[in-house]
């Protein structure tokens, strides 16, 4: 019985693992659907200094997956929380996408 439970738990973990956690394509689609309205091309139409360019991310201590994931999940000030709209793997994917785009200065790839 113990082996069966362990096997089932492993199967659940393997099945639930996101196939696109680090998939930039998924992050791009999630960004376009949920973030681009305010952050088009890495900018910020609400608060100019809170853009998604590398320099601003660093200045605002948002230059890590953990920091971006945190603010996307919980929101802050004008930034709404997305924890009720996006699953954790989707938030990870969009955070990865934002950091990659910041490294690329938000130029098309």
DSSP for residue 83: T
pTM: 0.77
pLDDT string in tens for the chain (109-residue length): 766 566 555 556 444 444 444 567 999 999 999 999 999 999 999 998 899 999 999 999 999 999 999 999 999 999 999 999 999 999 999 999 999 999 999 997 6
What CATH fold (topology level) applies to the domain 20-103?
Answer: Cytochrome Bc1 Complex; Chain D, domain 2 (1.10.760)
76 φ, ψ (degrees, to nearest 5): -175, 130
pLDDT score at 48: 85
- Read out DSSP for 12-30? HHHHHS-TTTT-HHHHHHH
Distance CA 39, CA 31 (A): 9
Angle at 52 between CA 49 and CA 22, to 5 degrees: 160
- Domain positions in the chain: 20-103
């Amino acid at each position: 019985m113990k082996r069966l439970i362990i096997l089932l738990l492993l199967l659940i973990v393997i099945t639930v693992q996101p196939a696109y956690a680090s998939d930039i394509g998924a992050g791009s689609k999630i960004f376009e659907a949920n973030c681009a309205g305010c952050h088009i091309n890495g900018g910020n139409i609400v608060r100019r200094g809170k853009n998604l360019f590398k320099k601003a991310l660093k200045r605002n201590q948002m230059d890590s997956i953990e920091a971006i994931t945190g603010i996307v999940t919980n929101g802050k000030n004008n930034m709404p929380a997305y924890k009720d709209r996006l699953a954790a793997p989707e938030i990870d994917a969009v955070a990865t996408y934002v950091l990659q785009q910041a490294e690329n200065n938000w130029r098309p790839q």
